């Protein structure tokens, strides 16, 4: 059928839509398992290294092993996500990740464990752009906010519970049990990927030609690096995430040394950030009065205010409400960023865009962890909180106008390249194995698609 994108969706039929949303929830669960598996493995291995007398540099190397591959491999992993069959990519990578976890149970050498941790994180670098790009193919443009909120909130839940589960299992049963359970989660992800019918580039590597959309010679091709709006988002995200990571290093000293609070108080304060994280990811899509860009700026402001407010706290318990605000902003920022990328970036480049986001999301914390250790040597924790919060706020104030001014740039660029409407036989279109059983839904023309500067679609 010409000029259609085949999806497991038929908006005119309620019975046809249900399976698609089941796939969205299934994908969200698989993504949460993937994140949780990597984080749980890193937590268990860090505890093992510490128990075996490893020094701070060895532990730092283990932490960096978890964040550097997604940052360094972003150009490669993004290109893979944009070219190759999403199912084959997920199945292959998760199978290798399961084998890496099994290999970890056979050694206690710090060098080998760190090397295997790098391989495990490399797998996440390849699967993250695919997981992030699939929801848009499952539900269509009009349902992207809801699908992104579901995906992000579920992934964050996995990230939140993973360290605690890993710590409990390691303390009760040893590191090997944690790693074996981690391998099992990857096996579940593999099986789930085989169940999901929606596939990106399911026939052969994607091509850049799109004959069904008319001549493309004079149309400017979309490039992630040329999207000024996306660059602004990534810069602000990097600065704000670095600031949040700095305080993650300092918070234990701030609570315990500055205020003399107990371990229980410290644990509750740390939980307060998490308490805002998932609600922020879920509730942000229900805000209808403001554009996605305005909500994104507001979420960055919430994080900065949360950090600044914690630095001004007269007592330990005053940190809690500010941490809830910061966590809410953190969750909202993650969800809205995914919504914006899915709406703005053409199908053929979403993998690269999400890989770039993953690079920033990992580089920011890595820099923050390193800076946090250095800052603690010459600055009291309270002042470090104030500096980190101020820098985050300055970054938002500096770039927010440019972000709003360039809000329509990617939309105009997308009109010059095929975004979601694909011709018959195009390999770039998302495909489903059940397409023949369900209605093929034509995509709206580019000139009828709402610009992102308008309020978020309901």
CATH number at residue 331: 1.20.1250.20
Q: Are residues 104 and 248 in the same domain?
A: no
Give the bridge partners for 432, in sequence order.
Answer: 198
In this structure, is residue 100 part of a structural domain? yes
pLDDT at 222: 61
Q: 239 and 192: one domain?
A: no
Name which residue leads in pLDDT, 278 or 411: 278
User: What pLDDT is stored for residue 165 in this prediction?
Assistant: 78
**pLDDT-wise least confident of 96-100, 235-239, 351-355:** 351-355
Distance of CA 194 to the CA centre of its chain: 22
Summary mean pLDDT of the chain: 75
Residue 216: inside a domain: no
Q: Answer yes or no: do 236 and 347 share one domain.
A: yes
Q: Has residue 220 got a pLDDT over 60? A: no
- pLDDT for 149 equals 84
Q: Is residue 446 part of a domain?
A: no
In degrees, rounded to 5, the angle at the alpha carbon of residue 349 between the alpha carbons of residues 346 and 354 is: 110
Q: For position 91, what pLDDT does the model report?
A: 92
Task: In whole angstroms, give the CA distance from residue 324 to residue 156.
Answer: 15
- DSSP label of 84: S
Residue 305: DSSP 8-state? H
Per-residue confidence at 116, pLDDT binned at 50, 70, 90? very high
Range of the domain at 24: 1-205+419-437
Indicate whether 321 pLDDT > 90. Answer: yes
Q: Are residues 305 and 360 in the same domain?
A: yes
Domain annotation covers residue 448: no
- Lowest mean pLDDT segment, chosen from 83-92, 300-309, 364-373, 384-393: 364-373
Q: Indicate if 241 and 277 belong to the same structural domain.
A: yes
**181 plus 229 within the same structural domain:** no
Position 169 in a domain: yes
Give the model's pLDDT for residue 213.
40
On whether the CB atoms of residues 149 and 95 are closer than 8 A, the answer is: no
Residue 308 scores a pLDDT above 90: yes
Q: For the residues 266-271, what does the mean pLDDT come to?
A: 79
The values of phi and psi at residue 28, to 5°, are -60, -40
Cβ neighbors of 417 (< 8 A, separation 6 or more) are 210, 216, 219, 220, 221, 222, 346, 348
Regarding whether 296 and 267 lie in a shared domain, the answer is yes
pLDDT at 155: 82
Confidence class of residue 313 from pLDDT cuts 50, 70 and 90?
very high
Calpha distance 388→246 (Å, rounded): 7
Say if residue 162 is in the same domain as residue 101.
Answer: yes
Q: Answer yes or no: is pLDDT of 288 > 80.
A: no
Is the per-residue pLDDT at 407 higher than 80?
no
CA distance 194 to 437: 19
**In-domain check, residue 136:** yes
Pair (182, 40) in one structural domain: yes
What total number of domains does the chain contain? 2
Beta bridge partner(s), residue 441: 5
Whether 401 is in a domain gets the answer: yes
- Residue 411: inside a domain, yes or no? no
Per-residue pLDDT, 408:
56
260 and 188 in a common domain:
no
Q: How many Å apart are CA 377 and CA 381, to the nearest integer?
A: 10
- Is residue 370 domain-shared with residue 242, that is, in the same domain? yes
Whether 452 shows a pLDDT value over 70: the answer reads no
Among 88-97, 268-277, 295-304, 415-424, the minimum mean pLDDT is found in 415-424
- 47 plus 194 within the same structural domain: yes
Are the beta carbons of 455 and 28 closer than 8 angstroms? no
């Amino acid at each position: 059928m010409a000029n259609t994108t085949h999806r497991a969706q038929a908006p005119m039929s309620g019975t046809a839509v249900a399976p698609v949303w089941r796939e969205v929830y299934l994908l969200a669960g698989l993504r949460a398992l993937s994140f949780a598996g990597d984080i749980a493995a890193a937590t268990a291995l860090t505890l093992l290294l510490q128990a075996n007398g490893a020094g701070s540099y060895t532990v730092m190397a283990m932490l960096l092993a978890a964040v550097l591959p997604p940052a360094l491999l972003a150009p490669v992993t993004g290109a893979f996500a944009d070219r190759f069959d999403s199912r084959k990519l997920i199945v292959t990578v998760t199978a290798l990740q399961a084998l890496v976890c099994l290999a970890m149970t056979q050694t206690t050498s710090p060098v080998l464990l760190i090397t295997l941790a790098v391989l495990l994180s490399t797998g996440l670098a390849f699967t993250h752009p695919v997981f992030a790009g699939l929801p848009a193919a499952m539900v269509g443009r009009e349902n992207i906010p809801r699908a992104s909120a579901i995906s992000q909130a579920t992934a964050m839940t996995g990230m939140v519970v993973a360290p605690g589960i890993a710590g409990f299992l390691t303390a009760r049963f040893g590191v090997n049990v944690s790693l074996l359970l981690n391998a099992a989660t990857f096996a579940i992800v593999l099986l789930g990927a085989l169940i999901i019918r929606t596939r990106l580039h399911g026939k052969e590597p994607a091509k850049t030609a799109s004959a069904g959309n008319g001549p493309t010679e004079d149309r400017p091709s979309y490039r992630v690096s040329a999207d000024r709006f996306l660059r602004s988002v990534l810069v602000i995200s990097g600065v704000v995430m670095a600031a949040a990571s700095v305080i993650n290093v300092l918070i234990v000293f701030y609570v315990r040394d500055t205020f003399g609070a107990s371990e229980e108080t410290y644990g509750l304060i740390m939980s307060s950030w998490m308490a805002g994280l998932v609600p922020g990811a879920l509730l942000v899509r229900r805000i209808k009065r403001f554009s996605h860009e305005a909500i994104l700026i507001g979420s960055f402001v919430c994080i900065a205010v949360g950090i600044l407010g914690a630095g001004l706290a007269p007592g330990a318990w005053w940190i809690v409400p500010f941490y809830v605000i910061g966590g809410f902003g953190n969750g909202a920022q993650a969800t809205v960023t995914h919504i914006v990328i899915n709406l703005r970036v053409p199908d053929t480049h979403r993998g690269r865009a999400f890989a770039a986001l993953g690079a920033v999301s990992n580089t920011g914390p890595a820099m923050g962890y390193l800076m946090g250790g250095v800052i603690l040597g010459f600055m009291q924790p309270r002042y470090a909180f104030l500096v980190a919060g101020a820098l985050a706020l300055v970054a938002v104030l500096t770039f927010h106008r440019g972000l709003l001014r360039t809000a329509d740039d990617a939309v105009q660029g997308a009109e010059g390249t095929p975004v979601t409407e694909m011709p018959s036989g195009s390999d770039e279109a998302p495909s489903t194995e059940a397409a023949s059983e369900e209605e093929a839904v034509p995509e709206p023309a580019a000139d009828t698609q709402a610009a992102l500067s308008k309020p978020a679609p309901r």
